[in-house]
């Protein structure tokens, strides 16, 4: 076994590998960019080395730098994690040339599976079922058009290289073929430098089923069963589970098919691995509809969702990787493997589902995770106070639950999501809770169109709470406590401690003492009056009537509030001039309105509130499931309207030129941030007069990316 390994990655997967290495007595070496100098994986490793600036191509993708660090640190092997260089055959070869073990498959296996077209041709020869389609070398329009017509509608035009939904177009009728081929080819060329396309039959309600396989250098290959990864957004997985609903074994409580389909898919996955001389951990992905399944691709690395397999098998897949890479045989044979219970994983992202899953950046001002144990696991790469930057993947953590059956796992998932608290960035927690509570999810009716089909129920932002006296009372009492603490501090430092102005109470001459507070929640501003009582209790005058707070106390565990005799547990977080009341994991924002603020401050606060209101209204009105993103409209110079960057990002592609006449909805520029591409479209018809930023430029939030000619005269006349 190795004495020291380097992890060529960051975030939660780096922390995950470090944990197993430490348990096995293996020293760990972390690498980090300048942006990750204080990151969690750096803190947990035995040693950490800098490898360059924040952009990944200058740090986490810099092969020569990483190899040099490994040699200087004395690492015998490199674990690539997933993403970055994990499926880079050149990196695997560079490791071998440097005398360092690459903890992954041979370079030849990586290359064989790197091209979807060549991989499908190889699988066809190996007898692995394929989706009807075309993956030949001829790429002329006539050949591709004939392939679409032969496959039938709907058909899928997709890039042979890459993944993540880039370079994909669905064709539903003959008139769409030309645009689909041109669009997919252009996007593939820009994203991957390879415009080779393939054609497939588009399945209407498929499930995404993948098989976890493991192989050693001695020819032993096993299937560690399947995972269902059907619930996706923008072709990216959101929730994964094992075993797959509908593929449960006899004797388990979830109804469904027997072991027949599982065995057939497992055998097909092992044939895939055998065909390319595979060694290590790999995942063979299938698309399934009914009892039919078809090969999609093989991921030649450990998957993000590997914890659900670990939970149902009781195995540590990273340990298996290390042992196989060190030359050992597989720890267990196929007949020694079994499934125990059901596991579900939810990926928690810093993103806004209501804004087409736009990544969100910021500092994790407050982060409280669910209680963990044998049934609840958290794999995270960040902690409270860390920043979510525009440079890397926006995943905050993975929440994994394990129950004796799927019903218990779904209940555990819902309960754990209700305990998750995050303030500082937008997250997909609301979406995950909505999925966990959806009746179709509960009964296992899953396919890749789940989120799109249920978009209205899943993606509509939750509003309300302004009439909930508990939320308003908690916000008011927290603010009241802050005011009293500030007054008490002022009294303690007063030169005249006997002055009535230095007394921290609500005493008033010839009247009842009270404190008025003005809070704004959603679209409503309200004045709440608090009447302190001598015994420490308070009476609150709310719009719906008075309530009595008999006691309230804030501690590390949150606020315990006894209101009209009923005890409530919640939390109040102070952030950016607001009180965020968290109840059952959901954030309710109450903004503090200061009636005595000077005009400048009042104006600034008003502008901020109006901006927040516009943003919320835009969320509510946007259509669900749209694929293009509208940037903001610059308003600083109304005579020169501009399309502005919604978040800090890199300019990936500029799709138009100065002087072009564009129509509303036309794609103008593509930004890349946090491993996600955003296509910004024209907000109206007009003429482009300036494109201040070129490809690869880094832009800040609010940067003017596209400037339009001013005035209605510049607008394109509508047909």
> Can you tell me the distance from the alpha carbon of 123 to that of 116, in angstroms, rounded to the nearest whole number?
10
DSSP letters spanning 503-558: --S--BTTB---EEEEEEETTEEEEEEEEE-TTS-EEEEETTEEEEEEEEEEETTE
State the Cα–Cα distance between residues 70 and 432, nearest whole angstrom.
Answer: 39
All residues at 6 or more sequence positions from 3 whose CB lies less than 8 Å from its CB, including other chains: 26, 27, 76
Q: Which residues contact 697 (CB under 8 A, 6 or more apart)?
A: 650, 651
d(CA 350, CA 12) in angstroms, rounded, equals 14
Phi, psi (degrees; rounded to nearest 5) at 258: -90, -160
**CB of 137 closer than 8 Å to CB of 154:** no
* Closest CA relative to residue 359, chosen from 645, 625, 600: 645
Residue 613 sits at φ, ψ, to 5 deg, of: -65, -45
Kindly name the residue from 185, 207, 301, 520 that is annotated as catalytic. Answer: 301
| 94 vs 110: CA distance, rounded Å | 14
Q: Give the Cα separation of 75 and 6 in Å (integer).
A: 6
Three-class SS of residue 229?
A: strand
Calpha distance 79→698 (Å, rounded): 30
Q: How many C-beta neighbours within 10 Å does residue 166 have?
A: 18
**Residues 6 or more apart in contact with residue 6 via CB below 8 angstroms:** 28, 29, 30, 31, 66, 69, 70, 73, 75, 77, 78, 79
Note the Cα 331 to chain centre separation in Å: 33
Q: Which residues pair with 518 in a beta bridge?
A: 527
Cα 508 versus chain centre, distance: 53
Active site residue 301: yes
Distance from C-alpha of 587 to C-alpha of 437, rounded to nearest angstrom: 18
Q: Which residues are catalytic?
A: 301
């Amino acid at each position: 076994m190795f004495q020291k390994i380097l992890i060529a990655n960051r975030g939660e997967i780096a922390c995950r590998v470090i944990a197993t290495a430490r348990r096995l007595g293996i020293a760990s070496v972390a690498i980090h960019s300048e942006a990750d100098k204080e990151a969690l994986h750096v803190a947990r490793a035995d040693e950490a080395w800098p490898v360059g600036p924040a952009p990944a191509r200058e740090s986490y993708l810099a092969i020569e730098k990483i190899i040099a660090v490994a040699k200087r640190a004395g690492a015998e092997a490199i674990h690539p994690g997933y993403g970055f260089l994990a499926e880079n055959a050149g990196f695997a070869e560079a490791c071998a040339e440097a005398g360092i073990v690459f903890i992954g498959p041979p370079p030849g296996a990586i290359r064989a599976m790197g091209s979807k077209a060549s991989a499908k041709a190889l699988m066809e020869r190996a007898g692995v079922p394929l989706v009807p389609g075309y993956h030949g070398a001829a790429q002329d329009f006539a050949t591709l058009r004939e392939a679409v017509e032969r496959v039938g509608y709907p058909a899928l035009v997709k890039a042979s290289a890459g993944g993540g939904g880039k370079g994909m177009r669905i064709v539903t009728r003959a008139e769409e073929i030309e645009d689909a081929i041109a669009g997919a080819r252009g996007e593939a060329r820009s994203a991957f430098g390879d415009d080779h396309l393939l054609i497939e039959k588009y399945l209407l309600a498929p499930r995404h089923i993948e098989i976890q396989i493991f192989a050693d250098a001695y020819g032993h290959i096993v299937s560690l069963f399947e995972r269902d990864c059907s619930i996706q957004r923008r072709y990216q997985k959101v929730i994964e589970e094992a075993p797959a609903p509908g593929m449960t074994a006899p004797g388990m409580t979830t109804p469904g098919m027997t072991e027949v389909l599982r065995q057939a898919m497992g055998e097909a996955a092992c044939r895939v691995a055998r065909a390319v001389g595979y060694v290590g951990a790999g995942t063979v992905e299938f698309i399934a509809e009914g009892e039919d399944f078809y090969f999609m691709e093989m991921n030649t690395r450990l998957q993000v969702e590997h914890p659900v397999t670990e939970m149902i098998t009781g195995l540590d897949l990273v340990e298996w990787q290390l042992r196989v890479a060190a030359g050992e045989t597989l720890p267990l044979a196929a007949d020694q493997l079994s499934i125990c219970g059901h596991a579900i994983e939810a990926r928690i992202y810093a993103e806004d589902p209501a804004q087409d899953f736009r990544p969100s950046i910021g500092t994790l001002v407050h982060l409280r995770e669910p209680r963990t144990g044998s049934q609840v696991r958290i794999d995270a790469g960040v902690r409270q106070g860390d920043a979510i930057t525009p440079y890397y993947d926006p995943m905050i953590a993975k929440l994994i639950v394990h129950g004796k059956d799927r019903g218990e796992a779904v209940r555990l998932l819902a309960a754990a999501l209700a305990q998750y608290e995050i303030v500082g960035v937008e997250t997909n927690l609301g979406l995950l809770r909505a999925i966990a509570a959806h009746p179709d999810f509960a009964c296992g009716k899953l396919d890749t169109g789940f989120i799109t089909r249920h978009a209205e129920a899943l993606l509509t932002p939750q509003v309300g709470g302004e009439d909930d006296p508990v939320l308003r009372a908690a916000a008011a009492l927290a603010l009241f406590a802050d005011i009293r603490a500030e007054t008490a501090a002022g009294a303690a430092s007063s030169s005249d401690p006997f002055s009535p102005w230095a007394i921290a109470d609500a005493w008033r001459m010839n009247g009842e003492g009270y404190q008025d507070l003005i809070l704004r929640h959603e679209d409503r501003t309200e004045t709440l009056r608090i009447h302190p009582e001598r015994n420490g209790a308070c009476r609150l005058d709310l719009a719906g009537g008075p309530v009595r707070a008999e006691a309230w106390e804030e501690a590390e565990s949150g606020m315990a509030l006894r209101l009209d005799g009923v005890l409530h547990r919640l939390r109040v977080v102070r952030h950016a001039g607001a009180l965020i009341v968290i109840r059952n994991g959901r954030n309710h924002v109450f903004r503090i309105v200061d009636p005595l603020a000077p005009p400048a401050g009042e104006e600034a606060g008003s502008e901020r509130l109006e901006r927040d209101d516009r943003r919320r209204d835009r969320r509510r009105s946007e259509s669900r499931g749209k694929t293009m993103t509208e940037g903001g409209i610059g308003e600083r110079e109304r005579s020169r309207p501009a399309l502005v960057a919604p978040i800090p990002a890199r300019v990936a592609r500029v799709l138009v030129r100065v002087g072009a006449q564009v129509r509303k909805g036309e794609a103008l520029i593509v930004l890349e941030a946090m491993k996600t591409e955003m296509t910004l479209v024209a907000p109206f018809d007009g003429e482009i007069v300036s494109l201040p930023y070129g490809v690869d430029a880094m832009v800040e939030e609010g940067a003017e990316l596209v400037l339009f000619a001013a005035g209605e005269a510049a607008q394109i006349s509508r047909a």
